[in-house]
Amino acid sequence: MSLTLLFAAGPGTLDAYRAPLEAALKAEGLAADLTDSAAPETVDYIIYAPASPLQDFTPFTRAKAVLSLWAGVERIVANRTLTQPLARMVDPALTQGMVEYVCGHVLRYHLGMDAHITAAPGDWATHAPPLASERTVGLLGLGALGSACAQALAGLGFRVAGWSARPKTLDGIACADGESGLKTVLQASEILVTLLPDTPQTTNLLDAETLALLPRGARIINPGRGTVIDDAALIAALDAGQIGHATLDVFRTEPLPVAHPFWHHPRVTVTPHIAAATRAESAARVLARNIARVEAGAPLLHEVARDRGY
């Protein structure tokens, strides 16, 4: 029996996924019709991106799961018409992309690369940076992406302090949770990386009060969610020298409006939401494997807990 997979991920997306997904489904022993248009009552699985025009899931009475192409699900999880199980994208290639982005920007700050890139002719300052073992990097969020980044940074020799909403244990990482744990991590973090989900509990977590806990001149890297940082508080902290520089990949409004102060601030680096892109070849294997599991009666991988929002 052939399954009907509805690709509801925006114009042209199916073109990029068709060949790799057909190959991945075949490898799992599954036959499927891939389409971006189908009668709702015939659809077995919905492959989804939150930017899709599809917002009402009520007619999809046969669908066994909605499989997101994005790691973040905040734009879909609160949809009251969504009664089907929802899986977020956890893809080794996506994780690797995030690890490379985070490590690259941490090393940029750690080694003081900007000073050398912008140095004037004849500037022969020979100040050497500390070794990684003498630098503490804080990481807010220890989910799949955060844990991978924390362990990669520890592998480079950094002292890594991680914080999560719930208790967590990771080899080589000083893990903390709760309000007191957050304070401890922030006070130690010369470089702070935020990889928290977008939930009511994380909105504006980094505000004037918490930014003031960081060591003066600390650097911030945010490839997680734009809502975690209070924009106005960050700009004030940058202007005051409390924060030395911020690299931001995610924003409350995307694309970031050209008039936004982040574009024009000398201590802000803007990147266009590129830290962790979903790649069709590897994501297709994740999708096919999850469909095969459900068809075999096994639990859905990476199912979203609606009460937590991720």
pLDDT single digits (tens) 288-307:
999 999 999 999 999 999 88
Amino acid found at 262: F
Mean pLDDT of 202-222: 98
Q: Is residue 169 very low, low, confident or very high in pLDDT (cuts 50, 70, 90)?
A: very high
Q: What average pLDDT is seen over the chain?
A: 96
Mean pLDDT of 87-114: 96
List the structure tokens of 66: 């909605």
Q: Give 259's contacts (C-beta < 8 A, 6+ positions apart).
A: none
Separation of alpha carbons 188 and 159, rounded Å: 10
Q: Give 297's contacts (C-beta < 8 A, 6+ positions apart).
A: none
Q: Which residue has the tokens 């009251």?
A: 80
What would the pLDDT profile of 228-252 be if each residue is shown by its tens digit? 999 999 999 999 999 999 999 999 9
* SS3 state at 60: coil
Q: How far is CA 50 from CA 88, 103, 171, in A?
A: 11, 28, 35
Amino acid found at 159: R
Q: Is 80 exceeded by the pLDDT of residue 285?
A: yes
Q: Which domains can be identified in the chain, with CATH numbers?
A: 3-91+278-295 (3.40.50.720), 93-270 (3.40.50.720)
Are the beta carbons of 168 and 144 closer than 8 angstroms?
no
Cα angle 201-273-247, degrees, rounded to a multiple of 5: 75
Mean pLDDT of 21-36: 97
Mean pLDDT of 101-125: 94
Helices (DSSP H) in the chain: which residue ranges?
13-27, 92-111, 113-117, 144-155, 178-188, 208-211, 231-240, 261-264, 280-295
Give the number of other CB atoms < 10 A from CB of residue 31.
Answer: 10
List the structure tokens of 157: 């020799």
Mean pLDDT of 54-66: 98
Amino acid found at 208: A
At 1 the pLDDT is: 74
Separation of alpha carbons 90 and 102, rounded Å: 17
Amino acid found at 266: P
Q: Which residues are catalytic?
A: 225, 273
At 213 the pLDDT is: 98
Given 3-state DSSP classes, what are the helix, strand and coil percentages for the chain, each rounded to the nearest 5? 35, 20, 50
Mean pLDDT of 74-97: 94
At 11 the pLDDT is: 87
Question: What is the side-by-side order of every strand in the sheet holding 174-177?
Answer: 174-177, 159-164, 136-140, 191-194, 218-222, 243-248, 268-270
Q: Is residue 42 very low, low, confident or very high in pLDDT (cuts 50, 70, 90)?
A: very high
* SS3 state at 8: strand
Q: What is the 8-class DSSP label of residue 128?
A: P
Q: Is 80 exceeded by the pLDDT of residue 208?
A: yes
Q: How far is CA 289 from CA 90, 91, 111, 294, in A?
A: 12, 11, 41, 9
Are the beta carbons of 81 and 55 closer than 8 angstroms?
yes
